Structure 1
């Protein structure tokens, strides 16, 4: 379906115009005539009179989550298209004072993002900008010679930079190891990345720190390998720390490992129980319980010629079912059921 905008029309999305999160879908073709002003959930677009603007299969998302910046974060109103729009004309944002997020209103400037320029806070060299504090409106005009690809649009105080600290964070299994990688497209005042791991999403432990590039406007890629993941679920996240001590967290990534902490044999057992572990230095202790949950004392026999195998006396144990629990120093556990004849 083809849709056209004729002079001065306001498009309201589902719910209130200042809804925390909203979405606009253009359909197959959505055309704004040249010289016409259209407001889409507070984003005001006025294409130049010599050419209109056609949106094809576009989705415009609106979020109240600010873009981190230095020294000031963006306002709490961020627009994002699913694909960049090629635009020349006037762009404006109708904001609420409650969305200023610490920015001085008189100094607001439009800011935009595309994959080539990254985040740009507009100024005199990129066209003409203005702020109308009475109307809570910040705008910027892009002439034909400064046509821009616009993917994200927001506003921030003049002089602030909006870094894209993290554009990708991935976690992949490589046999029994976790390979983590992440990329940044811009870093400002950045100190280091702390890699954190958790089994439940509540208690986190730091695995390592990797120094960042500090100041960068080019793509940077980092990697880290967790060579001793936990048995079961492993949650990973990045703590991104700036020079002033402030920090933000990345999204969590999850990997699952079915690690055989120890092999227990023979099963059933008659007189001697063998327990094999790849690395006994990582084992905190071995616990044995009978069917009623009472802990049992086992005598360790002479060390097997194979350093990975330890032998335990089971001859005098009453017949029945026993649980052999291997507890590693990192807190992971494995329980194996054995039958004593």
Structure 2
């Protein structure tokens, strides 16, 4: 008898999984061609639909809302993008309603999200995003929002969860560079599909500057170029990482810059398709002074006879200030904010100096100071 009951439970669970309608093509919710098996789940009496494509509800001004059946344990799973121009409603007398948003995936509701009665749960994967233009409500006890993803609403939410307070209202979304495309869509640019590719681009400092980023999906991605700048204006490429072509799912990347050139560095990411089309993402600022390699600076010739003194370094040299002092006292010449030389050499004209012994004091843009002596013949 015990074995028979377990088989019955397993068979019932398998029936539920098999009966879940899954979207397999981009398109409107109400189109049979969007779903497999080829039949729309409708807009009311919903069970456990799964969205695996780009789906819209009510973009044609008809049937703009989704209402789930009068049963416990109803769920909505979003593994791509779902946009609902009305409300999403679970029955307020039923328990255990669940909304699941995958890593890097998107659910936008232009109305309210009503999660039903007790033990309602919304789980959002890393880089995933839930936008609700109205209110988020759980009518009973233990309503909770979990997962590392983000929630934005213009209304209120009575569901517990750190990510609701962390992400805040739609103002925070509008000011977010991470979800700029989502913000633009919500604010009225709804004529084109919503592309969400880059989940994050961040840096931490350890043995070098560790750059990390992740994508939710890639289409014809040839490679990523990592670009660096010392002033936040002029960028140059320091490395490339091969992309994954076309891939639907979470991908994570990492690159370590072991030789930053300044106390403050700026990094940005450029993604290049196989056809050469590229997209450059917002840069990030990094305090890199803790991992700067030490300069080895030397002067030659030690006795200058032609009015030219060479200052050489084992790495690109950014001079913040350079001053020459007489051994008798007093500064005789000063050079500020010199340009980097591609050969790591800076040529100083000392023709104006008379014969004698001098001290050169050099301060790099990283804040390091070097002092050395030279002679003018």
Report TM bin, short chain. Answer: 0.3 to 0.5
Whose helix fraction is larger, Structure 1's or Structure 2's? 2
Greater strand fraction, Structure 1 or Structure 2: 1
TM-score by length of 2: 0.39
